[in-house]
Every structure is written in C-alpha cells, then in structure tokens.
Amino acid sequence: QACTYPCQCPSQPLQCPAGTSHVLDACGCCKVCARQLGELCSLQKPCDHHKGLYCDFSKIHRGSGICLAHEGATCDLLGKIYHNGESFQPTCKLQCICMDGAIGCIPLCSDDLRLPSPECPNPRRVKFRNKCCEEWICEEGSEENRFETAMAVFREDPAHKPELNNLQENCLVQTTEWSACSKSCGMGISARVTNDNPQCHLVKETRLCMVRPCDFPMEKTKKGKKCVRTPKPRQSLRFEFSGCTSTRSYRPKFCGSCTDGRCCTPYVTSTVEVEFRCPEGDFFQRKMMFIKMCSCHYDCPRDNDIFLATYRRRMIGDHV
C-alpha cells in the first residue's frame, strides 16, 4: 500500500557502509542499503538476503521486524565464536562476516601498489599516527635522477626521456602472476597487479575462482597412485556468487585430492568473463578463473583462515 508508481528514487548514489549490499525495496523500485544482523527492518528496509538474513516480524510490532540469520554453522577465529550472519572487525583493516561456517572479509584499506612515474619518482607508503591505513607520499628527488627512478616502469630510449603526454607508448607492461584462490573450496577471489592501461598505473585486478565445490566428492585413486590431480568434469553447473547465478551453465574442471597429506591446487588456468543475474533482475559480469591443470604438493593452505589471501603460490598464468 505504501508503493507509489511511477517509481521515484533519490538521484544521489547510495552511500552504504563497507560490505553492505544494495537491495531492492518491497515495491521493487529503488535500491536501498540492506539491513544487517540485529538491525530493525521493514518492507521498505529489507534485510541483506545475500548474507542469509531475513526480517522476523514476530518480535516487534507496528510493521517493523528485526534481521535474523537462518540457521547455519558458526565460525571460529582465534578462539572466538561468531554466529552465522554476524559481522565483525578482527582488525581495523578488515570487515568480516560469518557465513555458514566460512569467514569472508573485505579490506578497509587500499592495498594498491605503485611504481615510480614522472609525476611521482619516489613513492613511499607511510604510517600516520592515529590512522589505521598507510598512505602514499611522493618524495621529490633531484632533477638529475628524476627520470632515472621512473625508468623502472618506462622503456629506455636514449633518444628522449618519456613525455608526460606519451605514457602509453613508453610504458613497459608489467603483470604479476595470479595469486592463489582465497578459499580452498567454494567461491573465492584471486588477484594480480598490472600496469597494462593507458595511464601506465599499477592497478589491482581480481577474478572469481573455485578450486573445488565444498561438497566435492573424493575421487577414487588408481592403483599405485595417491593423488587425483584434475578429475574429469562431471555434469554442467551454474555458478553462484553473492546470491546471483550465472546466466549460462558450464562444465568446469576442479582440483582433486590426495591420500598422503598433499593438497592439489590450480597450476594452469585461463580467465573468462562470466555473466551473473541477480534476484532483483540486475546483470553484471565478473572475470572468473577456469582450471586447465592442477598440481599436488605439500605446501598447503590452512582451512578457515581469513588471511588465506596472503598465501601465495606461483601459478602459470592465463593460457588461451
């Protein structure tokens, strides 16, 4: 009854706290900041269904409710127990949430990297007092070595020094390997750093990754073998990410398992654009890792570790 059509939504973009989803109101009109666990909710202020929350109207009257989480496994981090759907900050640099036994985190500090450039020949990260995140400062060098440090990111050409308006032509493209997937099972994130852009700026790229589903069955090993590196793909499936589903189905390869304590991780991968459709009707595309071959080794990451993203194992990069 509170809905009025045509829809009239605020012209200003939503300003939601870090880690908060944008969801449609009950009228299906406007995007609003989703209510979190324990917060008051209503039809016009829905709970964050991406995190498994729902509005319980049985405890509060007058059309309001409270956001509760569906039953799910708790999370244990350094001896402290968090309930399903609970948000928390283990450090000032991370915002985390417990989702049915798994911990997902987003960084609150920018972790961008920076190479020397003509505008900033001597970049340096500095920790300021009373500030959690480090910040970049540019130290001025002498005129003689101003371009010497900047040449780390530009091609050396004795004929002329790089012009500010000709950065792309002189840019020496540098790209790191993709990092290991942030989760040992289920959907995670992999990242790399590259300066392959018109500004020749070092930026962080991310892609979705799934080493194996969390309900992946153990493969039977052949006689004399202790590992199944890359099992043959089974039936086709649709990927799910943050409550949204891929518009088409895929037959991806996953990494298998071992019986001798080793773990199997991706070794040769490719990156493909995957389109997702959300319950609200939105579409978006994300880069996603597709496995071509896995390797088995003893350098295994720890399960349920929110700092898993710091684990690095070199992979052979994208292969077309």
Residue 255 · residue 266 · CB < 8 Å: yes
- The torsion angles phi and psi of 173, rounded to 5 degrees, stand at -65, 130
Tens of each residue's pLDDT in the chain, 320 residues = 567 788 888 888 888 887 788 888 888 888 889 998 888 888 888 888 877 788 888 766 677 888 888 777 778 777 788 877 787 888 888 878 787 777 777 777 776 666 666 677 777 888 888 888 888 888 765 555 544 544 445 555 545 544 544 555 677 787 888 888 877 788 888 888 888 888 777 788 889 999 888 877 766 666 667 787 777 777 788 998 877 889 999 989 888 888 887 888 888 999 999 999 887 777 889 999 999 988 888 877 554 344 433 333 333 444 32
CA–CA gap between residue 98 and residue 74 (Å, rounded): 7
**Residue 156 CB contacts under 8 Å (≥ 6 apart), including other chains:** none
- Burial of 218-231, coded b for 16+ CB within 10 Å and e otherwise, reads ebeeeeeeebbbbb
**Beta pairing partners, 86:** none
The pLDDT of residue 7 is 83
- Determine the Cα–Cα distance for residues 165 and 153; give it in Å rounded to an integer: 15
Tokens standing for residue 64: 């309001």
Q: What is the pLDDT of residue 182?
A: 76
Nearest to 211 by CA among 88, 82, 313, 75: 313
* Cβ proximity of 226 and 191 under 8 Å: no
Peptide linkage before 6 cis (omega within 30 of 0): yes
The whole-angstrom separation of Cα 86 and Cα 164 is: 49
pLDDT of the residue at 289: 93
Rounded to the nearest 10 degrees, how much is the dihedral formed by the CA atoms of 314, 191, 188, 38? 140
pTM score: 0.54
* 3-class SS of residue 99: strand
83 φ, ψ to 5°?
A: -80, 160
Buried (b) or exposed (e) across 251-264, using 16+ Cβ within 10 A?
ebbbbbbbeeebbb
Cβ-defined contacts of 21-27 (< 8 Å, 24+): 21/48, 21/49, 21/50, 21/51, 21/242, 23/48, 23/49, 23/50, 23/280, 24/280, 26/2, 27/2, 27/3
Count the Cβ atoms, other than its own, within 10 Å of residue 25: 18
The predicted pLDDT at position 273 comes to 93
The pLDDT score that the predictor gives to residue 311 is 33
Q: Which helix (H) or strand (E) holds 148?
A: helix 146-150
- Map out the domains of the chain with their CATH numbers: 187-215+225-297 (2.10.90)
> What φ, ψ does residue 49 adopt, rounded to 5°?
-70, -20
Smallest CA-to-CA distance from 164 within 146, 141, 178 is with 146
CB-based contact 229:296 (threshold 8 Å): yes
Cα 294 to Cα 314: distance, rounded to the nearest angstrom:
12
* CA 257 – CA 226 distance, rounded (Å): 9
Do the beta carbons of residue 54 and residue 42 sit within 8 Å? no
